[in-house]
Amino acid sequence: MDALSADPPAARILAAIRAVPRGAVAGYGQIARRAGLPGRARLVARLLAGNEDPGLPWHRIVRSDGRIALPAGSAGFREQVRRLRAEGVVVEGGRVRMPAAPADGLDAALWGPDRG
DNA sequence: GCGGTGACTGACA
DNA sequence: CTGTCAGCCACCG
């Protein structure tokens, strides 16, 4: 079968990342789980680190605590913050506002496209 | 085969 | 709140 026809972990992870809606964010571990690869958060990070697809919403992927994974102050960090804010995501102190206190109405909002 | 490293995570002090 | 530790997986010399 074609390499892409099979179910390579990378393909699933990339698909999961692309599944994150605009204005939302997801964690590495969450993406990994969504891809059917629990515990492979580092694999997700590795893929993003080597990704070259401009269409991949890599900026929507943050750490489990909402913090930006990239080194604060780095070009990637700034770019991610910029993109997130452009989508309406509140970023402060290098971290995304936790959905623990979601604005009323915005059903659980962001953080979990898997709300089902 | 082994130790070090990294866009990680959860638990604990 | 911050910091440390162990677990984790893939890659590299």
Residue-wise pLDDT tens digits, A82-91: 999 999 999 9
Cβ atoms of residues A12 and A36 within 8 Å: yes
What percent of chain A clears pLDDT 90, i.e. is strictly above it? 64
A11 CA, C12 C1': separation in Å? 23
C-alpha–C-alpha distance, residues A80 and A58, integer Å: 8
In the beta sheet, which residues pair with residue A26? A61
Protein-covered nucleotides on strand B (Cβ within 7 A): 6-10
pLDDT tens digits for range A97-114: 865 444 443 444 445 444
What 3-state class would DSSP assign to A67? strand
